[in-house]
Structure 1
């Protein structure tokens, strides 16, 4: 355990570190991991304010995580709760005040809020001490609520959070709110770009791009672990990939509505025009002023390439739309890319995009059932898809399924309202 001065120093350092993270989902993960580290908390969760409700947005639990096998993650669905006096988080957001409870099962009844034991019953976990704090920005707006659960002492015994912890977590929550506000602005900007594409192509929804991005990060995490990528490089690249993958089809804004909204099969001439969305998208980032520009261009240009060299657009200059020097075929067209000539993030997003496309309704097809999808993707391993990445994809299917549920709003017209789904019960 850390003493108070060590906690202050660590909070100051973490507050600086989280400002480097641009993607919202990855930021929430980092915030919660670090605040639990400061206060030696076994578990925690973050709720973000959405209108008049709180959306359960991220959660961690060391005890349950340790019961899982290697490379498995806790699976949870999102849900919403009202901002009112009934739940602990709702009370915290409503009253803009900290709640510090030594034992949630032994409250004296004077409080208007109650503890919902559903998750504990479902997973056989025992919540005891809880510290919940509102995250408030400089304008005084509540952005969400951060909860940490079950503080532990040096012997691993559950203890209460102290009064001094309340002051420290309030300070950290302010820094977290500022970082979340910036990340939400970045996410909103990306989603506005996607909305432009959605006006042209109704299939390019925010849920679709969020799923593709989330699957891509999951696959990259498996690849990075396998190849021993350093923690700092992994964290930086993962953050950028999450945003870049959301923009994989942004080049469709340059393709005619006649082609994008055609319900039947495209003619060969129309398909050639459609292929242009890859280099039109990459063209938006050709300045390459940052790592984000480089990776976003890489993803946009290469997510339709195939491992066997039968994809598109091949070795092309996104600015001119013509073959790169030295990569012209006999007909002057770009030579194809194959195997590891295709950049890693292009190969990853190709898998994520196809999996989501097959899983979703389209104007020209119904969603496939999962068995058919997995059989098709296994058949295409070594042809369409990188075999190594497909092995990682299949090893992480449980997590990928949970991510699909989390961003399922455009598949069935409903939002997820379920509580936790525990992999320990499956």
Structure 2
């Protein structure tokens, strides 16, 4: 594999990873803007804009966009996150010019036609309704709201029904003009790709992108707290989290290993203790999410209401015990799992394109796989113990708690926030 980077005259960065054994190419544009860059009156505009990009340009109708990519057996899609919005395609190697032309067209020439906007607004409102009916997803929205109250980082990506209804064409165009700028975008490709060809296509197709300095995101301040929502469900969905490391924190890789040892697979502590030994949950796992200036380190479980009272003390105990007795054998197993995941990701052109785009956006460079593997190998049991004391001990931030479902049950149900926080302190 050969990674190459070129910054064009207008500020657009082109990054590629050649995988010559493939017959296909994954290519996309990653925009350095997402839900956390929205003002309160713009809540959900990044996501709606992502939807509307496929709904017609000055050159193509929505149907023409779909037909042109599918005529060559390709795939075109997009997604919105808190810190980025991505538009990407996967095509046969000879169809790279078409893929780049389509991406350039939707990102520079979308018309946001009124009828299409009304229709897609309804689709997004349906998506919001679906999310509200999916408690194992909804609980994480509530967690972010509890962790970052009153902040863009704590707001949902989808927006609300009211904010989405309020967006008109001018709101979309204004946000795109403000945030979709060449110096805040990465054109990334992986697979059977020639770097010089993508550079030439990028220079030709994205020449109309503006280059400005846009306002950054409001700094995130993890405050902690709780959100409880009683619902008539079969299970209670609960997640408990602390502030975790940023992308640039030296403990970034340690956090991933910590989460893996705690709840990353069938051999993890939580799976063994909560599911295998006690039968308290079908689904239980730990996670570490990093952002530019903050992070989330936590545990999720879906459990029967009558098991809540027993479950949460077990979860709290397992989180804090890692600061005392993390073992070399379980850390070595977590390292092996993480390295395998990194190396397996190199075998997928779509995963690799997203990885190099994200790395450039976050770090300003592409991280060599040898560097990442080396940092994983540096994490030992002592590092995990130290990390656990830093993020889950008495000196850690106040935790964030979110729960959706029946909150009472045998033994008292979900105990108070203060009592749970004391267990973790």
TM-score by length of 2: 0.27
TM-score by length of 1: 0.27
Higher strand share: 2
Task: Using CA pairs under 8 Å that are at least 6 residues apart, name the structure with larger relative contact order, 1 or 2.
Answer: 2
